[in-house]
Structure 1
Amino acid sequence: MTGRNRIIVVIAITVAFPPLCAPIRANAWWLQTARWLLPVLLAVFCSPALAQGDVATVRIDGRGVFQVGPGAEDGDPAARARRVEERLSPLLGNPDALAPAAPRRTTAGWSVTVSGIPVVSVTPRDAEDAFTTEADLARQWAAALDTALQSARERRLGWGGRFVTETRGSGEAAIGRLAESVSRIIPRVLAAAIVIALFWLLARGVRGLLRLIFRRTVEDVTVESLVKQLTYYAIITLGFFVAVDALGFDPTTVAAGLGLSGIVLGFALKDILSNFVSGLLLLTLRPFRIGDQIVVGDLEGSVEKIELRATRLRAYDGRVMLVPNAEVFTSRIVNNTADPLRRGAVALWLGYDVDVDRALDVIRNAALRATGVLESPPPAVRIDDLGQDDIRVEVTFWADSQRSDYKNTAAAVRAAILDNLVASGISLPDPSTRTVTVKDTSPDK
């Protein structure tokens, strides 16, 4: 698998893992931590950029001999070190035929040979990193390799010596490579963690500063929310790329990899990106604002917060509802508080035995004095229907939807009407009783 493909797989795991865990006990702190920590660890330790250090150690029987950097054929020092070890392995299979290691100069440059077989080439970068010339470095490698081969030859003499040596050497080599990788990775991971923490603190600090500025200059909390969230995520994104550089990645390569892996990320991020873009559109187009009372589908409540992922509503009974922005944006929205005036209506029933005109005046005056009802336009009282046993009366009134709660105003109107009717001696019909008039139609009457 190529390095770019590995990056794509790691990105896909990083993006897809948190949503998969979302339905499972979202309130568990350990799961919330694992949802984001595990993909990050996968991205760090599976990354080819971290596995590929600046140098790698060539080992014989698990013992380090010398270190090599990136070669001309492969930019991975570890792969170059493994190729050198693979060339030495057949030679160690016949220890008696081993000849001393020697430097050799060819038209391509300096190299080190063992028994006439080239095992490693000395590159100009190797010499530059060692602060010496290619010839001197070839001699140093040859001397170190010759000493290591002689020790390996002695360890293989005797019964079972080769099996024990090679088995032990394989284990020591694996442990040595692991320790070498960990020693390279841990400082980079710590540096990246510090960078992320600093940028996170910076983002929170800037967001708090913007909150103070907007509260003194701009009263529109929706605009405040848009600017704060865009600034927050811009700083976090910048911190991500700085942390990527601290981990050893080339930020431009990572950005190119993100572009090339658009199909994979498109599937993994479909819902997240949809909610993110919908959140930006909601904050920009502003079909409703924070504090508005809206109806989205079959949900109704007051808007408490508009985030880039979801819109937070509070129902009239106190429940909190988080609605994904994509669902909000594509649903039919009824904004009950878009206009400052909202008309309300309440209904009541009167008996046929009351003075209707007087009762309507009492009801009209009561509605006008109710808390939250506007004087202009004035309340209207009309007979809505004539039933078999009672008269249905509808009272309409206007309230300031942005200053008072519509439901509380309607309740105040009902209470005021009831009090005024009782005080005026006008009784409401009892639904459990019915007046029946019997007319005698016999012939002798």
Structure 2
Amino acid sequence: MTIVLLVFASILAPAHVALAQDDGRATVRLDGRSLFRVGAGQDPGAAVRARRIETRLAGLLQDPATIRPAEVRPHPEGLSVVVAGVPVAIVLPSDAEAAGLAPGILAERWAAAVDAALSQAATRRLSAGARFLTEIQVSIIGAAARLGESAIFVVPRALAAVLVVATFWAIARLLRFGLRTLFSRIVEDVTVESLVKQVVYYAVIGLGLVIAADAFGFSPEAVVTGLGLTGLALGFALRDILSNFVSGILLLWLRPFKIGDQVQVGDAEGTVERIELRATLIRAYDGRVVLVPNAEVFTSRIVNNTADPVRRGSVSVPLGYGDDLRQATAVLEAAARSAEGVLADQPVAVRVAELGTAEMVLDVTFWADSRRRAFGETSSAVRAASVEALRRAGIGLPNPDLRLLAPQDAEVWASLLGPPHDRPPQPGDALPPAR
């Protein structure tokens, strides 16, 4: 942990250096050339003040013939640099303090920089074509200069923020691995383990993002304020993600099922393998993986097949009306009790479930392991045992392909369908064919 703190301190160090370098001042440029730096003063900001000075200098270049050497004159707020009667810039006490110079010396330096820059700029604008080309060149150089100056402050902060996020991501993964090792020894509930690991993991990541924002130059208070102002828009844009996130926490907290349970959620049915904060991973019985959003899981009807370790099953057995019902009931009950997988300490019952036109249906109920594979194998064993026991007892199962039709007046039909020699010929009988 000491090593991690040392690494973290070394990562944050460049961020603080970058913050110290950004003293809240802006650079005044003319034709892409840096003249001097100004502070905020009474203006909304240093950048606004610098742009105003640049605008005054550009205005003087509209008529280069009127340009005169810069002068330093007193001003109510400090000293003013004046060119051809136009107050170009005002040297404030804060500017002199930031530069570490006396106000008069700083004003003279500003005046000299303005004279040199205006002289070069006026030379470049001797003709209309030269002025056009100069303006294009100046725009490109100025944009590149501002981009480079911004990069000096932004790139170190961005690198520091990335390193902070990477460090906290590594810490979060290390904590998750440590918690997994710890829970495997002291807690057997994998659902509680999953809840604690995910909460700790995302909490560390969230803390890392806040510190990274501070390293990048954003105040945590400003970030919170910005999120408060845009909270409504983010709520609408991220409502599904937030709903899944909250539902995931509630599922892990309320625990309608746990990892390893066999559940049915809507059309998805299988074994719960993982409960994440966004979705629940269900392994279907055919091996496919189903990711169900937690919001859908939380609002759907959940059937937990393994909430109890045992489950009652039922097998239907058809029986003919001519068979002995009491004997068949006893045979089926004994067969179910002897089937592999049927719990001996739970009751077995045989009931008449349905009376059809050609057969009756008996339901054999039993109790078995609630897991799908064990339950299916037990149901199959009960069916096989029932068929074998009925055959040994001489009780046949109905054959749907065989039907016995017994007429109501059997003697009349027998006399009519008997051979011709059994009765005298009757009028209307067909004559035998001639030989």
**TM-score between the two structures when normalised by the length of structure 1:** 0.80
Rg (Cα) greater in structure: 2
Deviations 1:351-405 (A, max 9, x none): 3455544443343233223343211222212232233333312111112326964
1:431 aligns with 2:400: yes
**Residue 319 of structure 1 pairs with residue 317 of structure 2:** no
CA distance in 1, matches of 2:389, 2:378: 17
Structure 2 partner of 1:252: 221
Task: Report if aligned partners of 1:112, 1:119 keep a CA contact under 8 Å in 2.
Answer: yes
CA distance in 2: counterparts of 1:108 and 1:231, whole angstroms: 56
Q: 1:217 to 1:444 in 2, by over 3 A?
A: closer
Matches within 5 A, 1:13-412: 54-75=24-45, 77-158=46-127, 160-352=129-321, 354-401=323-370, 405-412=374-381
Change (3 A) 1:363 1:135: farther
Contact 2:333 2:348 in 1 (8 A): yes
Task: Write the distance in 2 (CA, Å) between the matches of 1:173 and 1:201.
Answer: 41
Corresponding residue for residue 5 of structure 2: none
For 1:78 and 1:151, how far apart are their aligned partners in 2?
A: 24
Structure 1 spans left out of the alignment, 5+ residues: 1-48
**1:278/1:325 contact within 8 Å kept:** yes
Amino acid in the other structure paired with 1:56: A
> 1:234 Cα shift?
0.5
TM, length-normalised to structure 2: 0.82
Q: Share of identical aligned residues, percent?
A: 55
Q: Which amino acid in the other structure matches residue 269 of structure 2?
A: E
Where does structure 2 lack aligned partners over 5 or more consecutive residues?
Answer: 1-18, 416-435
Matches of 1:327 and 1:442 in 2, distance apart?
Answer: 71
- Quickly say closer, same or farther: Cα 1:79–1:326, change in 2 above 3 A: same
Summarize the Cα distance change of 1:165–1:441 in structure 2 as closer, same or farther, 3 Å threshold: same
* Aligned partners of 2:75 and 2:90 also within 8 Å: no
Alpha-carbon distance, 1:293 to partner: 2.3
Q: Give the aligned partner of residue 8 of structure 2.
A: none
Q: Deviations over 1:1-48 (max 9, x none)?
A: xxxxxxxxxxxxxxxxxxxxxxxxxxxxxxxxxxxxxxxxxxxxxxxx
Shift of 1:86: 0.9
**Aligned residues of 2:262 and 2:371 also touching (Cα < 8 A):** no
Partners of 2:232 and 2:304 lie apart in 1 by 37
Is the CA contact 1:372–1:404 (under 8 Å) kept in the aligned structure 2?
no
Distance in 2 separating the partners of 1:185 and 1:389: 87
Helix, strand or coil at the partner of 2:223: helix
How far did residue 88 of structure 1 move?
Answer: 1.0
Q: How far is 1:426 from its partner? A: 4.9
Residue by residue, what CA displacement relative to the aligned partner does 1:406-439 show, whole Å, maximum 9, x if unpaired? 3343233334434544566654322222222234
1:103/1:112 contact within 8 Å kept: yes
Alignment partners' CA distance in 1, 2:288 and 2:413: 69
Task: Tell me the SS of whatever aligns to 2:44.
Answer: coil
Structure 2: how far apart are the matches of 1:53 and 1:293? 62
More deviation, 357-366/150-159? 357-366
Structure 1: distance between partners of 2:223 and 2:299: 33
Shift of 1:230: 0.8
Q: Equivalents in 1 of 2:371, 2:185: separation in Å?
A: 21
Contact 2:241 2:278 in 1 (8 A): yes
Q: 1:397 to 1:157 in 2, by over 3 A?
A: same
**CA–CA distance in structure 2, aligned partners of residues 132 and 409 of structure 1:** 94
Match of 1:34 in 2: none
The answer as to whether partners of 1:389 and 1:434 remain within 8 angstroms in 2 is no
Q: How many pairs does the alignment contain?
A: 394
| Separation in structure 2 between the aligned mates of residue 170 and residue 244 of structure 1, nearest angstrom | 32
- Deviation of residue 244 (structure 1)? 0.6
Deviation at 1:173, TM superposition (A): 1.3
CA distance in 1, matches of 2:82, 2:144: 28
Shift of residue 74, structure 1, vs aligned partner: 1.9
1:182 CA displacement: 3.0
1:49-94 residue CA offsets vs partner (Å, 9 max, x unmatched): 9xx994433221222222334343123x433322211111111111
> Is the contact made by 2:279 and 2:291 (CA closer than 8 Å) also made in structure 1?
yes
